[in-house]
Amino acid sequence: MTTIPDNDPKPQPPEKPLPAECCESGCEVCVYDVYADQLEAYEQALAAWKARHPEDMASS
């Protein structure tokens, strides 16, 4: 059985960086800064998706 892909799939959270991915050198843009930006964008996208899919939230 195949499923039809959703035209508006639920956003997926960004992958959290592993501790070893940060070099602890005080980089101007740290992997944790990038993750924080991605997480904020994900949260906004998820809120917008939830607003478009209230029926999916009722069954959760």
Per-residue pLDDT at 57: 67
Q: Tell me the one-letter amino acid at 42.
A: Y
Extents of the domains making up the chain: 27-51
Task: Quote the pLDDT of residue 4.
Answer: 47
Q: How far is the CA of 31 from the CAs of 39, 52, 55, in angstroms?
A: 12, 31, 36
Q: Which structure tokens are listed for 19? A: 């501790």
Alpha-carbon torsion (22, 28, 34, 36), positive or negative: positive
- The pLDDT tens digits for 9-58 are 999 999 999 999 999 999 999 999 999 999 999 999 999 999 998 887 66
Phi then psi dihedrals of residue 43, to 5 deg:
-60, -40
Distance in angstroms between the alpha carbons of the first and the last residue of the chain: 24
